[in-house]
Amino acid sequence: MTSPHPRLLLSGDSALVVEFGDRIDPELNRRVLMLDALLAREPIAGITETVPTYRSLLVHYDPTRIGHAEISERLLELASRESEPQRQGRRWRVPVVYGGEFGIDLEAVAERAGLTTDEVVALHSGGDYRVYMLGFLPGYTYLGGLNPRLATPRREDPRLETPAGTVGIGGVQTGIQCILAPSGWNLLGRTPVRTYHPHRDPIFLMEPGDYVTFFPVPAARWEALERAAEAGDPVAEVVAA
């Protein structure tokens, strides 16, 4: 039997989903980003915007310029092409103040995992994470590669407000939430890094396919880092890929 993927799903009259699978999986994500890169290099006239996610690429297009049948054929052809080298992801070092008022769920996550809070911080900041996607809210960075011992289900009572810069765990994912928003994730800490800053160039720091590592910083440094980030300093450093 042939694989049902990649397959095309209808997302209305002006967008198609190219679906490579239905799981969180680095190989699926690699293929998503490969197709995205391919479309950037060999644009199809009429495509207006692409949105990479964990396991699919949403392709927005203008139906006055290209019809469903033609774009379907061309996307399927591109999606089945094998491994062209993709853009080398950058590697970001991101400071985090863990625990206390900065990460009010650190103790609960530790307790559930049968670890001390120091062990949770060591495991979380010792991880090597891949940016799978940016989505839902501006700059919301979804990271893969969480140590399975830290996996923690989402909260049953999502909080109506969680602060900008929150670094949290939702199931097997970890991530950086950039703006004040409701969230059901478990809050480990906060980073002063703004993955989204409308008054900075660039407005967005990270791209899907980048890598992230965290390093703990003491709460005493928060104010200075936060002020620098507000002024437009990325605060996160890019290290050699």
Partner 1 sequence: MSLIIVDSAGPATSVQDAGRKGAQRYGLTTSGAMDSLSLAIANALVGRDKDAAAIEMGPLSASFTARKGGVRLSLAGADRVGRVGSRSVWPNESFFLEEGTNLVLSPARSGMFSYLGVEGGIMGEPVYGSLSVSARAGLGSPYPRPLRAGDTLEVGTAQPAESERRCKLAPATNGPIRVVLGPQDDAMTPEAVSLFLTTEWRLSPKSDRMGYRLEGPRLTHADGFNIVSDGNVAGSIQVPGNGQPLALLADRGTTGGYPKIATIITADLSRFAQTQPGGRVRFAAVPIEEAQQEARAFAALLAGIASRVEPLVKGIAAGESGRF
Which of 26, 42, 67, 221 binds partner 1 (CB under 8 A)? It is: 67
Q: With contacts defined by CB under 8 A, name the span among 55-63, 73-81, 102-110, 217-225 that binds partner 1.
A: 55-63
Distance CA 141, CA 177 (A): 7
Fill in the per-residue mask, 19 to 38: x = in contact with partner 1 (CB under 8 A), - = not in contact.
x--xxx--------------
Interface with partner 1 by CB under 8 A: which range of 96-104, 106-114, 128-136, 225-233? 128-136
Compare residues 70 and 118 and give the one whose CB is closer to partner 1: 70
Question: DSSP label at 33?
Answer: H
Where do the DSSP E strands lie in the chain?
7-10, 15-19, 47-52, 56-61, 91-98, 129-134, 141-144, 159-162, 166-170, 173-177, 181-183, 186-190, 211-216, 237-239
* Least CB distance to partner 1 at residue 148 (A): 17
Cα–chain-centroid distance for residue 86? 18
Ramachandran category for residue 177: left, alpha or beta (phi over 0 → left; psi -120 to 50 → alpha):
beta
43 touching partner 1, by CB under 8 A:
no
**Does 168 participate in binding partner 1 (rule CB under 8 A)?**
no
- Chosen residue from 6, 34, 35, 56 binding partner 1 by CB under 8 A: 56
Residues 84-113 close enough to bind partner 1 by CB under 8 A: none
> Of 85, 11, 103, nearest to 51 (Cα)?
11
Q: Which of 100, 158, 198, 232 binds partner 1 (CB under 8 A)?
A: 198
**Binding to partner 1 by residue 11, rule CB under 8 A?**
yes
Buried b (16+ CB within 10 A) or exposed e, 52-77: bbbbbbbbebeeeebeeeebeebbee
Q: Binding of partner 1 at residue 163 (CB under 8 A)?
A: no
In terms of CB distance, is 14 or 117 closer to partner 1? Answer: 14
- Side chain identity at residue 73, one-letter code: E
Q: Which of 22, 3, 23, 65 is nearest to 74 (CA)?
A: 65
Binding site for partner 1 (CB under 8 A): 9-15, 17, 19, 22-24, 48-56, 58, 60, 63-64, 67-68, 133-140, 142, 179, 181, 196, 198, 203-204, 208
